Structure 1
Amino acid sequence: MTPLQAATRETFWTIGPIGKVAFYWLAVVAILVFLYGVYARFAAYARGSEDPRDRLTNLPARTVAATKTVLSNENQFDRDLYAGVMHTFVLWGFLTLLVATTILGFDIDVYRPLAGESFWVGDFYLAYQFTVDAFGLLFVVGVGMAMVRRYRDRDGRLWGKHTSLEDDAFVWTLFALGVGGFVVQALGIVGQPARADETVSFIGMAMAAGFRWVGLTPGGAEAIYGVIWWSHSLLAFAFIAWIPYAKPFHMISSFANVVARDENAGARLPNVPADLDHTNAESLDDFTWKELMDGDACTKCGRCTDACPADTVGRNLDPRDVILDLKAYRESVSDDPVAGRRDEMATDGGVASAGGGTVPIVADEGGVIDSESMESCMSCMACMDACPVDIEHLTSFTKMNRQLVDEGAVDSNLQSVFQDVMQKGNTFGESQSARGDWADELDDLEIDDAREHEVEYLWYVGDYPSFDDRNKKVARALARLFDEADVSFGILFDDEKTDGNDIRRIGEEFLYLELAGHHVETFADCEFDSIVCTDPHSYNTIKNEYPEVDFAEFADDPMMPFDREEPWNADGEVDVFHWTQVVEELVEDGRLDLSGDELDYTVTYHDPCHLGRYNDEYEAPRELIRATGADLHEMPRSRDDSFCCGGGGGGLWTEHEETVKPSEERLREAVEDTDAGADIEKFVVACPMCTTMFEDGRKTGDFEDAVEIVDVAELLIEAVETES
């Protein structure tokens, strides 16, 4: 047998029988402590309220999808190549070392006693050693990259009120384990001359050469090997036992969070039961098991905070801190020995209960979460889109908004909006009889009443195109586009009310239910093929949320003014479109007779949150812009990385303390950071709320001479009329 065929090594070199017994005893203790901690964590989630979503349906498929997401690190690579490479090195290095340790344990404790020989020899052993060295090196490099990012810039996104010693302990423990394994290997190579030809252990060989260069002899290596081996083993056991009790638990909870994710979270908020049980955020008992797990899944990476437009412009909102404040409070009041870490609260930046008393979850003063933080949220879902572990911020945020509404503790402007909607049916407080007056200036075009005529498209116009002077122009442009394409369409006139999308996200759930009930009953009385919406907010809630309403739940509620029990459009038999999707097909079919060179403007396009991030529609508006001949230049933050105008989540109706308005920041980006720079002539939008916010930002930010705000519909009708 050649030396390579016989290649192997003694696992417990210099470790005596008592040492081996101690090793296995400590291994068992570490694993038991680990298993108890994991059990206690998940038992704590089970004490959360029932989640309205069935998050464990088709669990095998969910697990496979989550495994692909985690192993590919696709979420970590999103907008951050450095973090993606770093996390890939750490994850795959860690998993490879874990599998390698498991293989060795199986060989020693199972295969050898049964077979009387070892498979950990020869070619297998050499391939094993090479793989361990290669992936161990990647692991150490990845951890090193993490340390560089963490400590090079101490005011970056990784640092905040919840940054604590556990973060340092985590990264340094991983580094010590990775380097320590190589040190143990190198000492073994120096002390065991038979391993001199083990060149596949290239890292161990290089370190062994270094040890010899500084004068370490085989005898010296043998003398210190036991100390280093035990130090490495004890650190590994301590790390295993520590995993469920601190930040390392994200390795488990993050995966579980991805398994339990709701693909439509945020765009489709959970329903509220008629009995009001666990609907708001009066206490921790109101949070679901998934919302509790969100806190443990958070890795404090700060991606959500970086993406948050409210935080960017200086509002009092840090999405990461909200999630971690809730987690810290839960741990501070929990009886669970895993979560009960009162002594750590001060250093961890959390909110403890003063004197052991009850702390309100959300309040102006003294709450776990400041009510101003919730009022600052624009419901843009940038935080959720950026989160690599699928934390559903908006679900928890809306729950806290409901609590504020329930207590009457909302901005006075929002109270006025609620009153206008309840009394008038719209957010402007205008008479509903005037809702269709915007069409009066369409001299040669009479719009059908969808309540009286069968139409192809029931057009839900929306509040702003109906009542706001600037957006009435958009409505008229769109009406002319439909007419030019010979589309059969009609509107609801005074039977159209506010859609309820933003009313719901502010926290007025039951007003939203009234609006949804009114509209689906009205739809049922009309004859049409599809619904088309001007506003992405309307499009989102009619498409994603109206079909979710369980009307039967409220059948006996005298406060709900609708007579309906069956769901609406539960099977998706009625198509709901944003107008750009409909008109894009009309252009493709040649029904608007555009040649593609009518206009020569240099433009940029702003992705509305409710059309893009909420509903993944990015191409239709761009295709329409290109169809006019305009030269489209993308802003640095575009598509799913788009920066909110500031109007969502009630932002359209409130004023905030902020360094700069979101709309001003976005316009600055358009004319300064876009490739075309100051040559940008038109800032193109596809949302009435965006139009309103950017027209305001254009004035307050002094951009009136720099750029013009136009809707895609206005650009299109100009092109059509130019062609004609």
Structure 2
Amino acid sequence: MIGWQVVQLLAFLMMTGCVLWLFFDVVYRRYRWIRLGRPHLFDWRIKDRIHEVAIHVFGQKRLLQDRRSGFMHVVMFYGFIIIQFGAIDLVLKGLFPGQHLPLPAYHVFLGIQEVTVTLVLFATIYAGYRRYVERLPRLKRGFRSGIVVILLTSLMSTILGAAVFEKIIFSLPLGFATPISSFFALLFRSSISPSFAWFAFYVCWWLHLFVLFAFLLYIPQSKHFHLLTAPINVFLKRLRFPGKLAPVNFEDEEQESFGVAKIEDFNQKQLLDLYACVECGRCTEVCPASGTGKMLSPMDLIVNLRDHLTVKGAAMTSRSPWVPGFTFLGKDKPTQVLPLHEGVVTAQELWACTTCRNCEEVCPVMNEHVDKIVDLRRYLVMDQGEMAPEAARTMQQIERQGNPWGLSKKDRIRWVEHAEVPVPTVKEAPDFEYLFYVGSMGSYDRRSQKISQSLVRILKKANVSFAILGNEEKNSGDTVRRLGNEFLFQELAQVNIETFSEYDVKKIVTIDPHALQVIKNEYPDFGYKVEVLHHTQLIAQLLRQGRLKPVHPVYKRVTYHDSCYLGRYNGEYDAPRFILKQIPGLTLVEIERNRERAMCCGAGGGLMWLEEKEGKRVNIARTEQALAVSPDLIGSACPYCLTMLSDGVKAKEKEAQVDTLDVIEILAQSLE
């Protein structure tokens, strides 16, 4: 017996050493491949980062937004932490029969272990049910997708089996502390001999080790690598200015191309994102492009980039990407290095993205998809000159005339001719408090001009000191930046910054959430920082201060559509709703997808100016969601959103029953 124990101990040590060496070798390879990317600037706010890990890793905040799968994942997450102590205990029992961890109240420890193992087993079975029986659309199916269910079920079953046979071997007391193993031990005790029980115990013991070691080798070669990378990814997440794009340094003479031409052009944090992906499908489920039949799937984009990095990294370092003997787990993965553009990622995918960041809002591991897509667009536009004719025309017209329609620069101020109150320019009122940055939509688009006119009327009523730039105003550059023309964006930003500085602008208010994003969060990268408010934020302040008081009832049923760039980019969901709630007679009802989960109108990312050639129009889908709550009015706080929703209402032939207005246009009815 002693000789057998020695042989078993040596076999265990050799196997453990070999598996751990292979595991760390595979992990180290992927670490090296992440290091192929450009250096990432890290903000060392450790306290804030630990807080994020506490909320999103240990608190599982985003996973719990889907209560059923969230609870399942919580059971697995904490179950595995607890079970690790039981695994050590089981190894000791196999190597040194009759021994166990020297813990006080050991019977309590066994009870906790058995309850935990049972819960994890049920959670694993439920995971298989959701994937293969309930067949959630966002979850992949197939052998590779379900292998973890097989491995986890095997692990939990062998733990329970070993506990049953241990009780029979040593005639351990049965009790409620360990109900599952006690039940089966009582059932089989009279019909199983001690020698068979020993044999069965070691079958369970070795099976547990084999499955555990297989799982350990499988983890870094699969989506389950997120067990290691997700906590790191959450720790390194962007803490401020979500969706902010990194500027291109055009003065860097060593730069071979602009944007991302090859996988190593991404920075290291972006490459870490790829290995943190859980393949849960939440991003694709909420993506407006994917949901309306477009080519883009944010999850598939990340997975394809990850597999490309793995294969290319292996080729660059002359190392196999897979552990020998485990290639069957990755047999459907690519084995040759394809070109990044059109080989791994297609232009069709890239131009389907509305940059709404809905995918990022639901990602449980804090992956960022939009900056990768824009970086890839930058290469197509600035390096290859590949883009839709409408995109090229829009950029050209913004460059020449400062607006997407190519209308005369001199017509930018003409909207004031129809304003009911005088609208001063910065030269006429040099002591203004707020610069009203009107934007191209508010200046040229006839429907959006009414929003501008409503705002100046309300500001006058509240005695707010403001002025406009008039024909000196230039396009904010958001459209061209999201389309990928970073060079033109930086030119526009520099001109705007010089103009703002010339007139000593201290505060800016704008009706355009896209302009809000670039001026407030992205212009500081070019040396200019100023207080910028969205018009709903300023109006909400005025209402709270009592400088505005809605008096006339508006007996309407209103639903509010959240703008992506006001909401997910700038975290403002309450100001527009606060304004609506101050209006007497008005009833506010919410669209099913609202606030953080609100669906995009389809205009973001420069797609306002591009034709949708695939699937259903995004604005139609969003309009249908709004119409589902039977409103009299659909409110918005963005001129782009208002245009898209208005078109959607017309397409659904509902314009006679449902009106579309900006929030402050509704407020103006109550003030007047």
Give ranges in structure 2 of 5+ residues lacking alignment.
none
Identity %: 29
Give the whole-Å Cα distance in 2 for the aligned partners of 1:453 and 1:338: 67
Instruction: Tell me the secondary structure at the aligned position of residue 572 of structure 2.
Output: coil
Answer yes or no: is the 8 Å Cα contact 1:435–1:494 preserved in 2.
Answer: yes
Tell whether 2:572 aligns with 1:617. yes
Write out aligned runs for 1:484-495 (5 A).
484-495=461-472
Contact residue 260 and residue 376 of structure 2 kept, 8 A: yes
Aligned match of 2:69: 83
Q: Distance in 1 between matches of 2:444 and 2:452?
A: 10
Query: Does residue 1:717 correspond to 2:672, yes or no?
Result: no
1:568 to 511, 516, 528: 528
2:636 maps to 1:685: yes
Following superposition, the deviation at residue 349 of structure 1 comes to 5.9
Question: How far off its partner does 1:155 sit?
Answer: 6.4
Q: Is 2:131 aligned against 1:150?
A: yes
State the 1:699 CA deviation: 1.8
Task: Show the counterpart of 1:227.
Answer: 203
Q: Which residue of 2 aligns with 1:339?
A: 321
Q: Paired residue for 1:526, among 483, 503, 522?
A: 503
- Verify the 8 A CA contact 1:282 1:360 in the aligned structure 2: no
Say whether the 8 Å CA contact 1:328–1:352 is kept in structure 2: no
Q: Which runs of 5+ in 1 are unaligned?
A: 1-11, 550-566
Specify the SS of the correspondent of 2:506. Answer: strand
Q: Which residue of 2 aligns with 1:539?
A: 516
Rounded to whole Å, the distance in 2 between the matches of 1:388 and 1:717 is 41
SS in 1 for 2:177: coil
Equivalent of 2:52, from 60, 65, 78?
65
Equivalent position amino acid for 1:226 in 2 = Y
- Structure 1 range deviating more: 95-104 or 261-270: 95-104
* Equivalent in the alignment of 1:666: 622
Match of 2:548, SS? Answer: coil
Of 292, 317, 324 in structure 1, the residue corresponding to residue 303 of structure 2 is 324
Asked if structure 1 preserves the Cα contact closer than 8 Å seen for 2:114 and 2:178, the reply is yes
Q: Distance in 1 between matches of 2:64 and 2:114?
A: 25
From 23, 35, 48, give the equivalent of 1:34. Answer: 23
Q: 1:347 to 1:338 in 2, by over 3 A?
A: closer
Asked if the contact 2:634–2:661 (Cα under 8 Å) also holds between the matched residues in 1, the reply is yes
Q: Tell me how far 1:60 sits from its aligned partner.
A: 6.4
C-alpha displacement of 1:20: 2.0
- Compute the displacement of 1:348 (Å): 6.6
Q: TM-score when scaled to structure 2?
A: 0.93
Instruction: Encode CA deviations 1:283-323: one digit per residue, 9 max, x unaligned.
Output: 12212222222221111110000010011111111111111
Matches within 5 A, 1:443-462: 443-449=420-426, 453-462=430-439
* Contact 1:37–1:338 (Cα < 8 Å) also in 2: no
Q: Counterparts of 2:555 and 2:562 in 1: how far apart (Å)?
A: 21
Superimposed CA distance per residue, residues 313-350 of structure 1 (whole angstroms, 9 cap, x where no aligned partner): 11111111111111122223333546369997997766
Partners of 2:33 and 2:310 within 8 A in 1: no
1:289 is matched with 268
Aligned residues: 662
CA contact (8 A) 1:435 1:466 kept: yes
Deviation digits for residues 395-453 of structure 1 (CA, Å, limit 9, x no counterpart):
11011110110211101011011111111111121112111111111244233336861
Cα distance change of structure 1 residues 74 and 122 upon mapping to structure 2, 3 Å threshold? closer
8 Å Cα contact 2:159-2:208 kept in structure 1: yes
Superposed displacement of residue 491, structure 1: 0.8
| 1:470-524 alpha-carbon deviations (Å, 9 max, x no partner) | 1111110111010110100011111211111221111010111011111111111
When structure 1 is superposed on structure 2, of 403-412 and 65-74 the one drifting more is 65-74
Post-superposition CA distance 1:596-653 (Å, at most 9, x none) = x621111100000000111110000001011112100001000000011000011111
Q: Which residue of 1 aligns with 2:602?
A: 646
Take 1:500 and 1:483, find their aligned partners in 2: how far apart are those partners? Answer: 29
Question: CA 1:656 to 1:346, structure 2 compared with 1: closer, same or farther past 3 Å?
Answer: farther
- Report how far residue 708 of structure 1 moved: 0.9
Question: 2 CA distance for matches of 1:594 and 1:451?
Answer: 30
Distance 2:565 2:329 in 1: 39
Where in structure 2 are the equivalents of 1:109-258 lying within 5 Å? 120=101, 123-154=104-135, 156-159=137-140, 165-193=143-171, 195-197=172-174, 199-212=176-189, 215-258=191-234
Q: Secondary structure at the match of 1:684?
A: strand
Amino acid at match of 1:532: V
Separation in structure 2 between the aligned mates of residue 669 and residue 649 of structure 1, nearest angstrom:
21
Tell whether 2:485 aligns with 1:508.
yes
Q: C-alpha deviations, 1:11-34, integer Å up to 9, x for none?
A: x99962211222222222222222
Q: In structure 1, how many angstroms separate the alpha carbons of the residues matched to 2:107 and 2:218?
A: 32
Aligned to 1:313: 292
Q: Which moved more, 1:628-637 or 1:122-131?
A: 122-131
CA contact (8 A) 2:221 2:322 kept: no
Instruction: Determine which of 393, 396, 411 is the counterpart of 2:388.
Output: 411
Supply the distance in 2 between the matched residues of 1:54 and 1:284 (Cα, whole angstroms).
Answer: 20
Q: Is 1:315–1:658's contact at 8 Å kept on the other side of the alignment?
A: yes
| Contact 1:379/1:648, CA 8 A, preserved across alignment | yes
What is the aligned-residue RMSD (CA, Å)?
2.7
Spell out the pairing of 1:583-598 with structure 2 (5 A cutoff): 583-595=539-551, 598=553
Other-structure match for 2:84: 98
Contact 1:15 1:226 in 2 (8 A): no
Give 1:499's aligned residue: 476
Q: Distance in 1 between matches of 2:208 and 2:236?
A: 36
Residue 556 of structure 2 corresponds to which residue in structure 1?
601
1 CA distance for matches of 2:327 and 2:477?
Answer: 42
- Cα distance in 1, alignment partners of residues 236 and 333 from structure 2: 26
Change (3 A) 1:415 1:122: closer
Contact 2:561–2:634 (8 Å) recurs in 1? yes
**Distance apart, 1:141 and its partner CA:** 1.7
